[in-house]
Structure 1
């Protein structure tokens, strides 16, 4: 996913192209990890000092609903990152120290489905947390 593609998805879903949304996406494109809404807001305020945290959070959440972004919860706070399009269905290992996300190509949903006969599963969420090799070495 890139900024231009994300802006097109927003437009296709009835959302206007604004400079703030574009900058928000540009900020997220700088990272290969999940970023807290708080950090995105602080970076956005460098250019748009009047941007409210609530507006930033609503935009991030809307973009997640449109599958532009993915999110996870780290230390009790939602962190956002661009949706991975190149890996197909996958899950992530997320470093609790630096936030780096690494795709995991296995999915436990078949095992879950076999344990829940006659249930309809609409969606699922699976992530693994720990420390990446770099943070283990550097003790981040």
Structure 2
């Protein structure tokens, strides 16, 4: 999802587009992978003096609820990234820097056969480790 699509979705859901909301969207669009609320807060404090942690968290929750951001949990902390709108895929997530790499393969293709009489509502598959940059550091 790009910033324009995210703004359109925000407006469709009845939310105003403010400079702070645009800056949060741009931050996640430019980020290569998952980021924490703390990282976002540091970024926002540098460009919006006096911004509150409540404002940042409230917007993270709004974006997550309406599908702009997706989230995962790593080392007991919730991380966010811009929602992917391309074909179904999963992610490798670097535990050090949060970068992600798409994985086109889906293990559900094999698992569905073992769950023939079950209704599957959804699934999430993530692989954690170190990216080549963090591995060589």
Q: TM-score, normalised by structure 1?
A: 0.87
Residue 103 of structure 2 is matched in structure 1 by: 104
Equivalent pairs counted in the alignment come to 137
Give, in angstroms, the shift of residue 52 of structure 1: 2.4
Consecutive unaligned residues in structure 2, runs of 5 or more: none
CA distance in 1, matches of 2:46, 2:134: 29
Whole-Å separation in 2 of the counterparts to 1:15 and 1:75: 32
- Unaligned runs of 5+ residues in structure 1 are none
Indicate the residue corresponding to 2:40 in structure 1.
40
Deviations 1:1-22 (A, max 9, x none): 2212211111011111112111
Aligned counterparts of 1:2 and 1:111: Cα–Cα separation in 2:
32
**How well do the aligned residues superpose, as a CA RMSD in angstroms?**
1.7
Distance, in Å, in 2 between the alignment partners of 1:49 and 1:117 is: 55
Distance in 1, Cα, partners of 2:112 & 2:56: 37
Higher helix share: 2
Alignment of 1:76-91 (within 5 A): 76-86=76-86, 88-91=87-90
Partner of 2:5: 5
SS state at 2:28 partner:
helix
Match in the other structure for 1:116: 115
SS of 2:51's equivalent in the other structure is: coil
Q: What SS class does the counterpart of residue 73 from structure 1 fall into?
A: strand
1:10-67 CA deviation, whole Å, 9 max, x = no partner?
1011111112111111222221111111110121122323332233223223212322
1:65 and 2:85 matched:
no
TM-score normalized with structure 2 length: 0.88
Give the 3-state SS of the residue equivalent to 1:115 in structure 2: helix
Deviating above 6 A after TM superposition, structure 1's stretches of 4 or more consecutive aligned residues are none
